[in-house]
Each structure stands twice: as C-alpha cells, then as structure tokens.
A and B are shown apart, each in its own frame.
Chain A
Amino acid sequence: MEPLRIDFPAMRTEFGFVLAGEDPRRLRAAAEEARAEVEAAERELSAFSLGSLLNKVNREAGAGPVRVPAPLFELLALCRRVHEESGGAFDPSVAPLLGAWGFRGAAGSAAAAAAARPAVGLDGLALDPAAGTVRFRRPGMQLDLGGIGKGDALDRAAAALVEAGVGAFLLHGGHSTFLARGAPPGQRGWRVGVRDPADPGRLLAGVELRDRALSVSDRRGRTAVVAGEERGHIIDPVRGAPAAGELAVVAAPSAAEADAWSTALLAGASPHPVSWLALPAAPPVPSP
C-alpha cells in the first residue's frame, strides 16, 4: 500500500508527514491526531502569536514566577541543558537580538543590538521543578523558541503516532528538521538528502534515518540586510551578532535535540562552513 502523505502549514513553514501501514483509515486518523499536536505546539510556543503560552511567559516572567504546563517546562529544561553543554552557543534568550538585528520587521542595527545584549543570557532563566514555574532574572529577558520549536512539535506528533500504533513514519518541519521511526516496507530506513545551500541542485549527503532525528540549520534560511550586508537569522549569543557559519547538520535521538544542536553548531562560529554532529542514541547525561 502507498504511504499516506499530508502536508500542511504550521509555524510559518510547511510540515509534512509520510506514514506507512496497511489500514488507510487508521493512518489518516493517526495523522490527524499528530497534526493536532503540531498545531497545539504552535499555539503554545509561537513568539509571534499574542495568545501563545510563550508570549504569556515573556510578558509576565520578569515580574515573578509563571506556572507552565509540563511539556513547556520540560522543553525549557532541555533548552537550558543544551545551552550549558554547548558552552552557551544555543540560547533562546537571543529574542531581543533578533529584533535588534532586523528579523522582526523593523530595520536592525549594530547599535540596537548592543543595547539589547544585557537582556541576553539563558543563565537568567530560573526553573523551579517543584512548583513547575519559570522566572526571568534578567531585566528585559525574552525567549524565542524558533531554534527548537519545530523539533519539539515533531516529537509531540511522533508520540501521538506511536500511541496510535503507527510504527513507520517520516515527519518533517520546514524541510529542515526530520524525525523517522521504523522504515518503509522493504527498506532499512527513510532516505533524506542534505542539499548544498550554495547549489540547491547538488546533494551534500544522503542519510538513511531510522528511529532518529536529523536537523539542518542553514544561514540562508532567513536573512535581513543590515548596513547593506545580508545577515543570517541565527544569532551567535556569545558575540551578540548573526552567526558566521553556513550550514550545520545534526543527528540526534529526538527532533528537539537535533533542532537545538544544529542551531548551536551554526551559532557557535565554527571555523568550518559546514558542521556535522551525531549525538549518541541515548541522551547525553546532563552536566552537574
């Protein structure tokens, strides 16, 4: 039987699911439940939607602790872990810098970025696991989960599919983050190609994914022109400026980890234009 495919808009990009199985009715119903998970994640994590839970956190966590549901709390805990393990290269608190560099509509400038820098630093994020609350200890601190949100949405969708009994699927968010479970009939895994951003007709690599996620961060994904120079949308939190890397590709056990680490790798000013990282199948042990 042909796999079921659905594509739909979410998180300001396109998501796609490919589900393999024998019962088309069950596959469709499962895909609908998984899509609902992505849409729920978008409503919760969007930095653009005023009604999102993240926006509530951004509005209120500077004034005191804000209680958040477990999925968001766990995601923020993952953000902090990757932030620490990446030496600060992954930092969702760069939100003020995204505006200052012109990625939120208004024109950006180095001067605006310099003024925004004191608000940046995930060490200002206080998480209280017992109370399930989030608090900002830095004045002006704001979070943007664009570097991990698509991956988290895919993880939620995958959980719904597994719960629905679907054993073989490939999901993508924006053609840049992929999550595979099982394999198509007769194959060892789902084949995913990594395009050369400088020459989209050329494949840099072909990857066979099975029970694993892959994320590609590309400097050209979104750009803004600042002082006549085109800048990529991923911010290097250490320098407080758009990252210099070209492309980062990460394989990881979960889509959220892959997403976050590919952002970190690109933001981390690697001397190599293309960076590759494969995390072990088991999640790394958090640093003490």
Chain B
Amino acid sequence: MNDLARRDFLRGAAGGLAGLALVPELDRLFPVLPPGAPLRTALVGCGKRGKEILAELAKIDGVELAAICDRDPGKLKSGGRRAKEAARYASVEELLAGESELQAVLVATSTDQHRPVAEAALAAGKHVWCEAPLANTIEDARALAAAGAAAAAAGRVFAAGFTARTNPVYGRARSVYKAGGVRSLVAARGAWFHKESWRAVAPTDERQRLLDWRVDPARCAGLPGECASHAIDALLWFTKETPTRVAGHGAILLHDDGREVADTVWLDLALAKGRRMSFEGSIANSFEGDNLVLRGTHGTIKLAQTHAWLFKEADAVTMGWEVYAHRQPFHRDEGIVLLANATQLADQGKLEEGAGLPNPPLYYSLHDFAAAVLEGTAPACGAAEALPPTVLGILADQAVRRGEELAVEPALLGLEG
C-alpha cells in the first residue's frame, strides 16, 4: 500500500470508533519503507524459493532488483523470465564483481551453499538476507552466524528468513501468549505436511545432482533441518523454552526412489518441567499443512502461517478483547482469530478469507530486512536468533539418522560458545 492509498484507507477507517485502534495493526499488515533511493538488491538462487522471493519483491516499493544469480543455467533462465530488467550472473563471485552499486544480497540457494554465498556477500560489504535455516551442518551454521554477527557489529544488516518473527499474526499471537492467554504451557506440537518429491528435473546427470540437494544427506538436514527448525524457532520465540534433548525417527513411506533422506519424520524434544514438543513432518501427505500448536492450562494457540487462533478453556479468565473478536468454528471447538480488529478489517475487505494475512509470511520477512537496512535498525531475526533453531534442526536430523536421543549442548546455541 503506497502512502496515498494508506491515507485514503485511514481516512475511511477513522470515521468510526474502531478507526484509531486500526492504525498500529495496519502498519504491520501493510508496512511502508521510508522514502528515498530504493535498496539495490540481488537474488542468489532462482529455484522455487527464489521465485517466491521475486514475486514478493515485486510488491515491495523501495526495493530494486538489480541482478539475479544461479549456477544452474535453467534456473537462471526461468528466474530471468520473471525479472527481465535484472542482470544475470552464473556465480556469486561474478555477481559481486559486476555489481559495484549493489547494497544487499538475498540468499536462496540450496542450504549447503548458504554459508559460502552469504559469507562472500558479507565480505564484500553487502547487507545479507539469508533463507532459513542458516546451514545444514553445525559448523557452517556457527560460522555463518559469527560472520553475520560481526557484520552487524560493523553496521551492516544480517537477517535470516525464519518468518515467524516478522509475521504480523504471529506477533499478535505472541502478545496474547505473553499476556497469559494460555497460562502455563502444557505441550507444543509442530507439523509440516506437503506432498512433494523434493526432486527437480535437469537435462544432465550433473545438473540433476546439483538440483536434487534436498535428497542428498550431505547437503541437507532433511525435514528436521528444513522444516522443523521453523516450528522450533516459533517455540523459542514464544516460550523462551530451549529443548534439552531431542529424539527422532524417520522412514521412507512414499518416495522409495533410492534416496536415503526420510520422507516422513517424528521428533520429540524435551523441554523444562517434563514438557515435550512433538513434531511430525512428511512429504508423503499434505493434510494440515504447516502449523504449530501451543497448549496451555487455560487455552491453546494454533499458528498456521497466515492465520492464528486462540482456543479458550472453559475456566479461562476473560481478557476483554476476545468478547468481540472474530470467531471461527473448528469441529467441536471455536477459534478466536488472533488479529486485532479482525472483524472490522474483514468487513472492510482488508483481510484474506477466514481473517488471515493479506501477504504471505515471506513478504514480511523481506520487508523487515529492507526496513532494517534503510532505517538502520536491527532485523527481527538476526544471527543470534537464527542460530539456535538452525542447530536444533540439525541435531534433530542427526537424531533421526542415528535413531537415538541426543543431548543439546547449550554452548552450541549461543554465538559465544
């Protein structure tokens, strides 16, 4: 929403009593970058995630895509169809040498390439947004986090794409959680279900190996590293509860095509006071998609990317705001939509169906990064925030591969360790 459209909307909203209360929520749903010269960026990695980034960047006023880069010619070509005005490069070295005016680099490569690409960009003095998780090995994750923290100390922005921390509905849900909305945590359950093969198509065996990184255990920490890490990050952000041990199991239940990486996993993470976080993930089934459930003694919060709900227990204290909040039935339960002024916003056509975010979570992560660069502020998810969920995801993957429970060394999760 540009300034003009925003002013028009606010003028309309200000007519009623709810108008003033809408302003802070609108700022989060339709954020605006400061006026001035656009942020000159490049995208490295034009695969599926890279294309999603291109689509979201096109909606962010104040960010200019100067170049795209991919070492696979097919991906570079398809990325170029979406971003015809951008220069094309086959390596990050050529990109950094050829684009002297570049300010920021967005890293959406295979996870094993995050560290070398992001470190090269940081060494060249660029601001960096890196897709999450940071890496597929603990060594790489810690090294990249250290490089990101050092860059931040030198005045540059290093941000990671754990999108929970910039998601406006998660932010609203977290404020409810912090205010005691579910009281004492009982259990957490993460889920990530999306039926897909995790394979790509390439004309040569060499390019096929390059693109099939997610089924290569040397280049990817599987469902725990790629997907559970995001649920773990949301858990850490909401509860400050750090798992002490992690166990896991995995199986290949659909994609029995010679791969070694499990297509379905179950994780069990030990939290304080005997509580557990469970996680189920699969690329053999799609039901339920991607969500995190936080159960408490007085209620439950369900976080589902673009939507979030509070389910209250009968003996929960009334907080006030929820009396008039937007509600949705879920079989025998009723969910209170966790988005301030959701009813009014939905009535005005400002929310997605079912009262959800107008943009996908990725949009807000990229916007937060651009705002941090242009305004000189810290991003919501910097190196210190991105390291623990990355390491815990990698440990969970190791637990799955070994079929045993692993202790979490706290020193691995901190930048100083």
Contact = CB atoms under 8 A, between A and B. Distances in A.
A5 interface: no
User: Which of the four size classes fits the interface of chain A?
Assistant: 20 to 34
Nearest to A36: B48
Interface in A55-69: 56, 59-60, 63, 68-69
A50 B59 contact: no
B199 interface: yes
- Chain A interface, DSSP helix/strand/loop, else mixed: helix
Interface string B170-213: 00000000000000000000000000110111010000000000
A181 B78 CA distance: 20
Nearest to B357: A51
A50 B352 contact: yes
Interface stretch (A159-167, A251-259, A273-281): A159-167
A51 B81 contact: no
Interface stretch (A26-34, A117-125, A220-228): A26-34
B153 interface: no
Interface string A172-197: 00000000000000000000000000
Main secondary structure of the interface of B (DSSP, over half): loop
Q: Sort chain B's interface into a size bin.
A: 35 or more
A137 interface: no
B81 A71 contact: yes
Interface string B116-144: 00000000000000000000000000000
Contacts of B81: 70-71, 159
A40 interface: yes
Nearest to A166: B201
A63 B5 contact: yes
A53 B59 contact: yes
B5 A51 contact: no
A138 interface: no
B201 A43 contact: no
A4 B77 CA distance: 26
Contacts of B353: 48
A40 B51 contact: yes
Given A29-B200, A40-B55, A56-B59, A51 B352 contact: yes
Nearest to B306: A51
Interface in B50-102: 51-52, 54-55, 58-59, 74, 77-78, 81-85
Contact of A25 (B55, B58, B199): B199
Given A51-B352, A51-B363, A53-B55, 6 more contacts: A28-B197, A29-B201, A33-B200, A59-B5, A69-B82, A70-B81
29 contacts: A25-B199, A26-B201, A28-B199, A29-B197, A29-B199, A32-B196, A33-B201, A36-B48, A36-B51, A40-B55, A43-B55, A44-B55, A48-B353, A50-B351, A50-B359, A51-B360, A53-B55, A53-B58, A53-B59, A59-B2, A59-B5, A60-B2, A60-B5, A63-B4, A69-B55, A69-B84, A71-B82, A132-B84, A163-B77
